[in-house]
Amino acid sequence: MEEPFDSDLIDFEQQLELASKEIKITEGTRRKWHVVTLVEGIDGKDLDPKEVTKKLKSKCAAGGSYKDGVIMIQGSHSRKIKRILTNEYGIPAENITLS
């Protein structure tokens, strides 16, 4: 006999996955002088990277893209992105590395 669907269990499992996720945020340049913020470590298992990219672009009021497992946001937004990931996605601040 199948067990009934428990949404609280799914939410707990998803929160557990997010709590163990390691995310790296770096700033670099593109085409010599354009500053970009790169976010690595968000895969499609528990968070949809394209949805996260869309939200980060909206909150940072900047362009960006997702390609090959890396989210690229135009401009210097590392602290703002860390705050968004912790407050809106529940990722612990200890698991996010700024460099």
Q: What is the mean pLDDT of residues 56-66?
A: 96
- The helix or strand, by DSSP H or E, that contains position 53, with its residue range, turns out to be helix 49-60
Q: Is 43 helix (H, G, I), strand (E, B) or coil?
A: coil
Q: How far is CA 86 from CA 2, 29, 80, 96, in A?
A: 35, 25, 10, 9
> Phi first, then psi: what are they for 84, rounded to 5°?
-65, -45
**7-98 CATH, one of 3.30.780.10, 3.10.129.10, 3.40.50.2300, 1.10.4080.10:** 3.30.780.10
For the full predicted model, state whether its pTM sits above 0.85.
Answer: no
Question: pLDDT band at 33, cuts 50/70/90?
Answer: confident
Give me the residue label for tokens 């968070």: 47
Report how far residue 99's alpha carbon sits from residue 51's, in angstroms, rounded to the nearest whole number: 24
